[in-house]
Amino acid sequence: MRYSLYYITYMNEKKKHRRDLKPSSGLRGRIWIDGNEGTYLGYGRIILLEQIREHGSITKAAKSMEMSYRHAWELIDSMNRQSPVPLIEANTGGKGGGGARLTEAGEQAISLFWKLYADFQDFLEKEARVIGFSISWNKGSIIDKQKSIGSHRKKK
């Protein structure tokens, strides 16, 4: 299961399903970085890294995203295997407690991804203007600026 922008956007609201949302027109896209095992970094993985940085724990980060610990661990393990150096260092639990921390490489991965993501959003916005759509990022929707796509046609 992959965690998409849809999941992250609505995770703190009541459960919503895609079928409950009205489709919007316009340009949308996703961006991720593939590694030798498949997805290396993507939106949901970056959010997971940020949550680990914030909470200092894989368990707490996973809970904050309504994700199972096992799935969070598998994502972290995948990222660490595909990276030249680990992005997350985890300590096993026990009497003193466990914990996890973001490494310098993890911080760099987050910065790199958000730069790439911002560039991609700029690209989508530019292309949307070219074809006549307006993108409203603060609401996460795309609004068609044209009154009627077929309004330029001659009436019979």
Name which of 84, 85, 55 is nearest 72 in CA terms: 55
Q: What is the pLDDT at residue 134?
A: 57
What are the structure tokens assigned to 99, written together? 């914990």
Domain boundaries, the chain: 31-144
Tell me the average confidence (pLDDT) per consecutive run of 10 residues in the chain, 156 residues long: 41 46 70 93 96 95 96 97 95 75 97 95 89 58 40 42
Q: What is the pLDDT at residue 8?
A: 43
Cα 61 to Cα 69: distance, rounded to the nearest angstrom:
9
CB 13 within 8 A of CB 66: no
For domain 31-144, which architecture applies?
A: Orthogonal Bundle (1.10)
Q: What is the pLDDT of residues 87-122, one digit of tens each?
A: 999 887 666 667 999 999 999 999 999 999 999 999
Q: Which amino acid is at 135?
A: I
CB 8 within 8 A of CB 47: yes
Q: Which amino acid is at 156?
A: K
Query: pTM of the predicted model, to two decimals?
Result: 0.69
Q: What is the pLDDT of residues 115-124, one digit of tens each?
A: 999 999 999 9
